[in-house]
Chains A and B, each alone.
Chain A
Amino acid sequence: MIDFFLYAALNIILVIALAPLYISVIKKVKAYYQGRKGPRLFQTYYNLFKLFSKERVYSTNSSFIMRVSPYVNIICSILAILFIPLLFIPNNTLGFENIILFLYILAIGKFFISLSGLDAASTFGGMGSSREMSISSIVEPVVIMIFAAFVFVFKSFNFFDIFRQTSLNLDHISLWLLLIPLVIVLLTEVARIPIDNPETHLELTMIHEAMILEQSGSDLALIEMSSAIKQLLWIGIIINIFIPFGFDLLLSISGLFIGFVSFFIKSILIAIGIGVIESYLTKYRLFRLPNLFAIAFFLALITIMMEVLL
């Protein structure tokens, strides 16, 4: 019981403290490819503090949804942190176990943010909501197929057992094929190129940004924080399944330190990789995204068929 609370506290503090750093890393990588110096590494932290000190403006048309949804979103992201062990795996999971529950808790946040996009009676908000809900519906079969592959291969429903098994042996090399669909899902969930451009200022090209155009002040800070947390969680899943070295299975100070250092290095590498992908590709037209997801679905299905049916 106690090790679960220790795990919870460590995980939450680690993720909340580190999450904005990765956004800056990706921006720096993109700037480097464009020949610029880019913003400072801690710039996202300064942005968040600045947003917290601004006042909030609500529209005359908005209702309680606008005031409530940033909090619902951040709580869902924080609850989702407890599902993904990043530094060590506790023995007792106290109910934070299920893969599908993890997915659907993230979906609650998305639901409320889409509602708040419609709330202010602006055109761009509605457009963002509609595109975001369509894209996240289309990517859902791919995610479920990837998770089904994990459950079939590792024979367990929760991430704790799965990470425990991957960190012990590297028997299933062909699971590396699932890296491509998982990366595509990561790019969709955090709204990066080629699905959505997070730095655009043209409203007609926005998907995620358009929904949060009307938010301001501490609400906007909470929403940005929540996207950063989601990004770090998906990076954490990729790291722990494919390159699980340095994971701590027994609780000890040196083990935690090694785990932290290896997690930090691996996640920075993956963030740099995301930045490279963003610099090499362009944003796809909205109606060409189903092609991309269909290829990812095909890949995941063939991997499952080969793994399981042999």
Chain B
Amino acid sequence: MNEIIFSELLKIFLVSLIILTTVIISRRNLTSLINIYALHSFILALIALTFFFYDGALTFLYAAILTVASKSILIPKLLKKSQKNMQIYTDIEYRYLKPVSSIFLSLLIFVCGFFIFYRIKDFLGLNQLYYLGVVFGFSLVMIGFMIIFSRKKIITKILGYLVMENGVVLLSFFVGEMPLLIEMMVLMDLLVLVAITSILAFGMKSSMEEFHAKLNPFKNWFKWREIK
């Protein structure tokens, strides 16, 4: 693959990643949030594919397939199931940050990341393009953090954590030596998290009624402050 096409494609994908993240931080409709997260992970897989076509290393191909299978298909399905059970559709309330302020704050974070990594660019041994990737990964992590503390419903907080993990994986593509290993560790982390959420949400199939009765009071944890 051509050098120019590689860098241009990578730039397009990185910018779309960060824009999707800012969309996550300001949208309210939960279904669309989960869909955007699926798109987010898909673009991450596309980045891995681009690395595969340019470098030829097989690890990137496996990482891409793993990401698509787990983060674009499996996890959103689980999240949608639990969301449908809980019957919450929107996440209206914001805490500490209004949507427009959060977008400008994410811009500020990006700019700060840009200049901080400018100085240690040579220490890390990055060329221009990889330095961009590191900045975007870092901003993704910080914006994920912002999503966690500024939204109130748990599902959105989980999505913020998932976005953070995506940012870590992105960083690993550009800086780390074994992206596949990191990808798999992160994946196990997330799978456990989402599994626990789903179990708490709708219990095991066997004794549905018992679990329902037992977990009924815990339902309020997920509908945090929706009923005032």
Q: Is B128 an interface residue (CB 8 A)?
A: yes
Note all chain B residues with C-beta closer than 8 A to A303: 15
Instruction: Quote the shortest CB–CB distance from B40 to chain A (angstroms).
Output: 15
Query: A305 and B114: CB pair below 8 A?
Result: yes
Bound: A115/B132 CA distance, A: 47
Complex-state Cα separation, A18 to B39, whole angstroms: 38
Cross-interface CB contact of B18 among A173, A294, A302, cutoff 8 Å: A302
For residue A270, CB closer than 8 A to chain B, the reply is no
Taking the complex as formed, is B12 at the interface, i.e. its CB lies under 8 A from any CB of chain A? yes
B1-34 to A contact mask, C-beta < 8 Å, 1/0: 0001100110110011011001100100000000
Given A294-B103, A301-B107, A305-B114, check contact A173 B8 (CB 8 Å).
Answer: yes
Interface size class of B (residues with CB under 8 A): 20 to 34
Q: Is A34 an interface residue, CB under 8 A from the partner? A: no
Contact of A310 among B15, B104, B106, B128 (CB under 8 A): B128
Please measure, in the bound complex, the distance between the C-alpha atom of A290 and the C-alpha atom of B103, giving whole angstroms. Answer: 10
Contact (Cβ within 8 A) B23 A302: no
Docked CA distance A302–B135 (Å):
12
Q: Which of A49-73 contact B (CB under 8 A)?
A: none
Cα distance A173–B8 when bound, in Å? 6
A306 at the interface (CB under 8 A from B): yes
A299 CB-CB contact with B under 8 Å? yes
Task: Look across to chain A and name the residue whose beta carbon is closest to the beta carbon of B128.
Answer: A310
Chain B interface, >50% SS class: helix
What are the residues of chain A within 8 A of B56 when measuring CB–CB? none
B176 neighbours in A (Cβ, 8 Å): none
Tell me the bound Cα distance from A306 to B23 in angstroms: 20
Say if the beta carbon of B200 comes within 8 Å of chain A. no
Q: Is B110 an interface residue (CB 8 A)?
A: yes
Given contacts A301-B107, A306-B11, contact A295 B18 (CB under 8 A): no
- Give the CA-CA distance A299 to B11 in the complex, in Å: 12
> Contact at B132–A298, with CB atoms within 8 Å?
no
- A306→B132 contact, CB < 8 A: yes
Assess whether A291 is in contact with B107, with CB atoms less than 8 Å apart: no
B131 to chain A, nearest CB (A): 9
Judge whether A103 is part of the interface by a CB distance below 8 angstroms. no
How far is A171 from B5 in the complex, measured between Cα atoms in Å? Answer: 9
Nearest first, the 6 closest Cβ-Cβ pairs linking A and B are A173-B8, A294-B103, A174-B11, A291-B99, A291-B26, A174-B8
